[in-house]
Structure 1
């Protein structure tokens, strides 16, 4: 088994409002590292899971992406040059698209436009940009559920995405469907789908963790947060 190591310089644009590397940027780091590997598994990516270990801040040292190919899976860890810390792991399954699923009819719906810049050279929305589309769906949904949630109150712990069909540029907006599928004392799960007239293109499950920006640590939900989130619980379709 060959292990690849790639260094990627960080940019100011990689940061979010908390001065952490934005969760979508981890996918871009992983995608950049895979782009120069010749022995990737054949076929499309059917699923990708990102586990966020700890916040990554902007620095002068490059990000280091370590990649291993194991059969139809590509396993990547994202660290920082000169340290042993792992800030995130990315696991991608190649070979075929994920099985079809039905649209969740009880979900909150919102239009979501695909931009020409979201697509790659093959005319298909890239893996990183699919995660960007899910982020564009998730942020206003949380704001709607919690009525103007304070930025930094939550961070992503884990996101799993399944790609059911290739997403090309659409003249008409996609329909983003979002719902709360689980509520705990310090974390909750948002499930989402990107759909068009023919069905579900991609689906995701994101675990969000309560976060205290002043201490940079996880926190328990307030009673109001838990009540509002619980009111949005919806069974799986």
Structure 2
């Protein structure tokens, strides 16, 4: 009897670096990591919420409420993209936490976690996740980010 492999709970986006992402020290500036995560998130939303029009989450409203990054290795510019793996680490009524790893093969450059909130743009307040949104996010539920914590 063979057991089935666990379901894939991570989505990977390949994101291209820009020459201008480098700083005076010759590596990708820490602020640019936030841009890389944003680019990966936008691609993920298109894939995850494709049943409801792909960019529906962006059109209906989603806010970034928190983002924490742990830098592990210096990332230098190169023409090849970096892989950003994403998954859901916690799911609430109107919000969810996403985990990220920025990597290239065995090299792990950073870990991150974000809290995102479904937002009603017209009413200017959080809104509950729809059944389809919740279902899409539940399929990506995985382990918390293995990040060092502050004391």
2:86 corresponding residue in structure 1: 178
Q: Which of the residues 43, 51, 63 maps onto 1:155? A: 63
SS in 1 for 2:47: helix
Which of 106, 116, 119 is matched with 2:22 structurally? 119
- Total equivalences in the alignment: 133
Larger strand fraction of residues: 1
- What SS does the corresponding residue of 1:129 show, helix, strand or coil? helix
Is there any run of 5+ residues in structure 1 with no aligned partner, and where? Answer: 1-104
Structure 2, unpaired ranges of 5+: 1-7, 147-151
Q: Distance in 2 between matches of 1:197 and 1:140?
A: 20
- Offset, 1:207: 0.5
**Which of 1 and 2 has greater Rg?**
1
Contact 2:86 2:99 in 1 (8 A): yes
Q: Stretches of 4+ moved more than 4 A in 1?
A: none
Give the TM-score normalised by the residue count of structure 2: 0.80
- CA-CA distance at 1:171 after TM superposition: 2.9
User: Higher helix fraction: Structure 1 or Structure 2?
Assistant: 2
Indicate yes or no: 2:109 matched with 1:201.
Answer: yes
Cα distance in 2 for partners of 1:198, 1:225 equals 32
Residues 38-187 of structure 1 mapped to structure 2, 5 A cutoff:
107-147=10-50, 148-150=54-56, 151=58, 152-187=60-95
1:220 aligned residue: 128
Deviation at 1:106, TM superposition (A): 5.2
